[in-house]
Amino acid sequence: MNTIRRSADRGHADHGWLASQHSFSFSEYYDAEHVEFGPLRVINEDRVVPGAGFGAHGHNDMEIISYVLSGALAHKDSLGNGSTLRPGDVQRMSAGTGIRHSEYNGSNTEPVHFLQIWIKPDRRGLAPSYEETRFEEHEKRGRLRLIASADGADRSVTVHQDVRLYAGLFDGDEHASLPLAEGRRAYVHIVRGAVEVNGQPLSGGDALKASGEKNLTIAAGRDAEVLVFDLPGA
């Protein structure tokens, strides 16, 4: 069964320095039908104006992935990590027993546009940790490139949950297929552009939830960027 969530139906918050769209319940936005999907808890599409950002704040017992779409995202945390992420970079931060961090627009002239993804870990009380990997455009072109997984396969960042996250770029005749094992489900988030997922036309910000499917097919892309979460079943 495939269920579609349109971009316009997401939650929205505008704080002036930050414009955010919430695929799942977050902060003051609550939708009982869209709290989480398995261990996938948050997909926030954030746009931060030049020179602004999130001051130091704390998290615990959450796997947090940052995926930059445009601009530069500057990161610092209580583990001593500091870096500036750009499109192609994937950051994983395991909050575990507790971590403090800040994210700022790394430019004083250009906005930064990124996705903040939260995944519930498979156990509580982990030691906080940090990881960052870069995936070039050609690695994602016309295919689904593994970028996060429980075992860190193929240079993917390691998440403490039975999740495999893929990223792909599709245009024209480019297409890909992903088999889903029995008992698995998938969440497909369209980052930008337009594409067909299992024959369903989707555009930037739209999502498709797939349960009980044996396969995902992605085709007919028009400058499309896609994230696919392969998740444990209910």
Per-residue model confidence (pLDDT) at position 1: 86
Give pLDDT < 50 ranges for the chain. Answer: none
Beta strands in the chain (DSSP E): 2-5, 11-14, 18-22, 40-48, 53-59, 63-70, 73-77, 82-85, 89-94, 99-105, 112-119, 129-134, 145-149, 157-158, 164-170, 176-179, 184-197, 200-203, 207-211, 215-232
- Rounding to the nearest 10 degrees, give the CA dihedral for residues 166, 169, 172, 177: -10
Indicate whether this model's pTM tops 0.95.
Answer: yes
Per-residue model confidence (pLDDT) at position 44: 98
Query: 177-233: per-residue pLDDT in tens?
Result: 999 999 999 999 999 999 999 999 999 999 999 999 999 999 999 999 999 999 998
